[in-house]
Amino acid sequence: MNAQIRSGEQRRPHPEGAVVNVRIRYFASIREAVGQGQEGLQTPSATLGALRDELIARGEPYASALARGKAVRMALDQDMSDESAALREGCEVAFFPPVTGG
C-alpha cells in the first residue's frame, strides 16, 4: 500500500442520495471481531468516515470493532486514506488495526 494518505479532496463524493456498491475487507483483530474477512455492501455513504459510522450503527460486533476513539486504519483502493476520502462505485475499502514493525 502506498504510504501517502489519500484525502477526500482528491476525489469528489458520489451525488447525495446515490447508492454505491463497495467491497469491504476486514483484517487482523477486526476480521476476528466481525467474523468475516470481506463483504459487499450497497451504501449511501459518501465517505470512508460515513461508511465507518454506518457499520458502527449495525451494532455488535461492528460497534466495538470500529468504535470511534479506537485506532482503526483505513484504505481506499489499496491506498491509506483518511475519513474524508470519497467512496465511488466499485471501490475497495479496508479496515485494519494499526500495526507496528520491528
pLDDT at 43 over 50: yes
Q: Enumerate domains of the chain plus CATH numbers.
A: 19-96 (3.10.20.30)
pLDDT at 51 over 50: yes
pLDDT at 23 over 70: yes
Task: Provide mean pLDDT across the span 75-79.
Answer: 97
Output the pLDDT for position 8.
46
Cell matching residue 35: 467474523
Task: Provide mean pLDDT across the span 63-85.
Answer: 96
Per the CB < 8 A criterion, the answer to whether 8 and 79 are in contact is no
Task: Provide mean pLDDT across the span 7-36.
Answer: 81
Output the pLDDT for position 52.
98
